Structure 1
Amino acid sequence: MRNRRLLTPFSLSFLDIMSCGFGSVVLLFLIIKHNVDTYTIIPVDTRDQTSEVMLLEEEILEGRKNLAKTRNTISEIDEQLVEAQGMARRIMEKIQETRSLAEQLSDTTSAVELDRLKLNIKELEEQKKQLQEEVRDTGDDVRRLVGDGNREYLTGLKLGGKRILILLDVSGSMLDDTIVNIIRIRNMRDGIKRNAPKWVQTLRMVDWLTARFPRDSQYQIYVFNTKTRSALPGQEGKWLNVGNKAELNSVIEALGNIVPEGGTNLENAFTAIGKLRPRPDNVYLITDGLPTRGSRTIRGTTITGKQRLNLFTRAVKQMPGGVPVNVILAPLEGDPEAAFAYWRLAMSTDGSFLIPSEDWP
């Protein structure tokens, strides 16, 4: 009988190891294949980044435009200065010629002719003095402001005064002209808010006005949202001297650090006018719509156009009499009654009313 072959333990162990290894390879393959087939794409919200990029591109474009305008304006000012100096030189030569002619006149020259020559000399000297003042004004303004030149003849604003007050709206609506963009920008960083196109234009308006303050006048700049305060901290109720250029530059710099936010309480702003002593003789109000806050609390989370008009009416009652109010209005979306209300305020106080274009000043 043939002997049966016996299996050794070593052979069985080898087969077990091979089977386990093969099974591990198959399992690993199945796991990798499953993960590859079931991957998902995670969406990334880049709207905020896109908005910031667009704002930065707009700022760059605006900066290039302003640079070109600045260069053109400097060239125009240089040309005007050269022309004025040349005219003054010609007038001086004419004066010398007239004087020489007067000295050469004989004793027989009539008294009438001498009087006429003296009158000519006096007129020429007055023209020379006027030209010298124009040259000095061109080269030494209260504040150096390079732009499109003096636009009083276009704006119709009544400039000047001994005590000038600027009331500047710094509420959240000053970020943009539309409600959607206001909400969008309001949720961004403070740096983006300060560079919002509407707010930048508003600061340029203040810069334009301050550059045209008379040198011997006094001024004050109040900013208001739900509260009213001086743009320069600690200067409430005080008149500042235009001749102090360092202080005026500090006020403008402080305005650049403000972030528009909150509602609009015009009643507080007009009440602050009455507290100034002596009272201002010229007021510039820069805003974009009817007020949303008042001394009385309004119920609910929304406010109607009629309620805003009532708040405006109560605010006007706080205005001291005899003070002209010049209104610069940047209209806000959804506030159609604001233009007429502010125009009526300007006309009733013997002031002026302006809705600026996008590129003013």
Structure 2
Amino acid sequence: MRRKRKETEVFSLSFLDCICCGFGAVLLLFVLTASRKAEEMDDLQAAIMEIIGEMEDEIAKNDKEIEDKKLTLAFETKRAEDSGARLDETKKRHTELDEMLKLLLAQLAAIEEELGKLIDDKENMPKQEEKAPIPIPNPDRRQYLTGFDILGDQVLFLVEASAGMTADTIVEATEFAEKSEKERRNAPKWKRVKLALRWLIANLKEGSNYKIIFYNKELIPLEVGFGRDWFDPMDNNLTVEVLNAIDDITPEGGANLEKAFAIVNELPIEPDRLVLICDGLPTLADSYAGSSQVMYDDRVAMLRMAQNALDIDLPVNTIMYPLMPDPGSAVHFWRLANSSGGSMISPSEGWPDI
């Protein structure tokens, strides 16, 4: 009997084991792969977020730059508009100046034409012989005629500013003593004194300096500017200041010539010429008491005290405006002039005529 063949089973236990093992391996592989992919996804997401952050920062930076550029553009636009306005104003001003220049040139041309006509008319005028003017002595000649020598390098003017310098007589001077300062400054005799002082300053030589000290019972040194007391006669502005300061001096009180001569010895700059302007013998002295009523002999003694007070050897040139009656004063000042090598005059009412 033929043996029946045993049929082979396709799905045997061994095959199922292999299939299960293979599936388990695939599943394990899948699990392992999925975990790694999750980590990679996290890293990728983190990288993407970082890139997004950098892009956001860049966008914010670009936005700020754009905003700054907008502000700069607005500023430049405004400045350009202002510059344009200024340019328009400048062009307008330039046009106005051009028109003004054209007008001035036209006026200049008309003036030149008129000047040319005047020159032609002058040349065509009949010529006449001009007579020589009457010669007027120059300042040096005037000083020679009066005997005065004020051509020193340092000239000192001592000017009496007592009440007697307001009038020619004692009675009139007494009346002026009761008047206001303004009236005394405008007294006729005092105005003549100031005019003589003005003439003397005008006739000083170039390169010299002068100083003015007024005296009555006290000394009044003349100062102008910043305390300057020696003046350049060639300085016109300074001379105007000096003349204005002279106009502010008011004659009053007595006359202390001794005090005036004594201050000459103390000056830091020693004068080489001295010009004394007075009305006669002094009425006050520091070193002479005298009597309660000053008499003629007292005044002569006061002049002697004044002479003794002057230690410097220099010529004393005296201009005396006598206060009448005082006939003996001139003699004593002549003697002072002769003893010092100076000169003395008693000018007429019209001197100096300038």
TM-score tier (shorter): 0.5 to 0.7
Q: 1:231 aligns with which of 206, 219, 222?
A: 222
Residue aligned with 2:265, SS: helix
Count of aligned pairs between the two proteins:
221
The letter of the residue matching 2:276 is L
Listed one character per residue, the Cα deviations across residues 170-204 of structure 1 (whole Å, up to 9, x for unaligned) are 00000111111111122122222112111110000
In the alignment, structure 2 segments of 5+ residues that lack a partner are 1-130
Q: 2:305 aligns with which of 310, 314, 317?
A: 314
The structure number with the bigger radius of gyration is 2
| Residue equivalent to 1:323 | 314
| Residue equivalent to 2:42 | none
Whether the 8 Å contact between 1:325 and 1:352 is mirrored in structure 2 is yes
| Residue equivalent to 1:298 | 289
State yes or no: 1:252 paired with 2:243: yes
Whether the 8 Å contact between 1:203 and 1:255 is mirrored in structure 2 is yes
- Post-superposition shift, 1:288? 0.6
**Normalising by the residue count of structure 1, what TM-score does the alignment of the two structures yield?**
0.56
Listed one character per residue, the Cα deviations across residues 210-248 of structure 1 (whole Å, up to 9, x for unaligned) are 001112011101100011121226988953333332222
> Take 2:152 and 2:166, find their aligned partners in 1: how far apart are those partners?
30
| Residue equivalent to 2:256 | 265
Residue aligned with 1:275, SS: coil
State yes or no: 1:280 paired with 2:271: yes
Listed one character per residue, the Cα deviations across residues 141-164 of structure 1 (whole Å, up to 9, x for unaligned) are 9xxxxxxx9733542212311000
Whether the 8 Å contact between 1:232 and 1:250 is mirrored in structure 2 is no
**Normalising by the residue count of structure 2, what TM-score does the alignment of the two structures yield?**
0.57
Whether the 8 Å contact between 2:224 and 2:242 is mirrored in structure 1 is no
Residue aligned with 2:319, SS: strand
> Take 1:233 and 1:290, find their aligned partners in 2: how far apart are those partners?
30
Q: Name the CA shift for 1:269/1:207 in 2 (closer, same or farther; >3 Å).
A: same
Q: 2:166 aligns with which of 175, 181, 184?
A: 175
Whether the 8 Å contact between 1:222 and 1:228 is mirrored in structure 2 is yes
Whether the 8 Å contact between 1:237 and 1:275 is mirrored in structure 2 is no
> Take 1:173 and 1:252, find their aligned partners in 2: how far apart are those partners?
21
Whether the 8 Å contact between 1:237 and 1:276 is mirrored in structure 2 is no
The letter of the residue matching 2:332 is A
Whether the 8 Å contact between 1:230 and 1:236 is mirrored in structure 2 is no
> Take 1:356 and 1:280, find their aligned partners in 2: how far apart are those partners?
24
Whether the 8 Å contact between 2:221 and 2:229 is mirrored in structure 1 is no
The letter of the residue matching 1:338 is S
Whether the 8 Å contact between 1:237 and 1:277 is mirrored in structure 2 is no
Listed one character per residue, the Cα deviations across residues 96-146 of structure 1 (whole Å, up to 9, x for unaligned) are xxxxxxxxxxxxxxxxxxxxxxxxxxxxxxxxxxxxxx9xxx8xx9xxxxx
In the alignment, structure 1 segments of 5+ residues that lack a partner are 1-81, 85-133, 142-148
The letter of the residue matching 2:159 is L
Q: Name the CA shift for 1:300/1:351 in 2 (closer, same or farther; >3 Å).
A: closer
> Take 1:299 and 1:282, find their aligned partners in 2: how far apart are those partners?
31
Q: 2:213 aligns with which of 185, 201, 222?
A: 222
> Take 1:300 and 1:318, find their aligned partners in 2: how far apart are those partners?
21
> Take 1:344 and 1:358, find their aligned partners in 2: how far apart are those partners?
23
Whether the 8 Å contact between 2:288 and 2:305 is mirrored in structure 1 is no
Listed one character per residue, the Cα deviations across residues 253-279 of structure 1 (whole Å, up to 9, x for unaligned) are 111111110110001100111112331
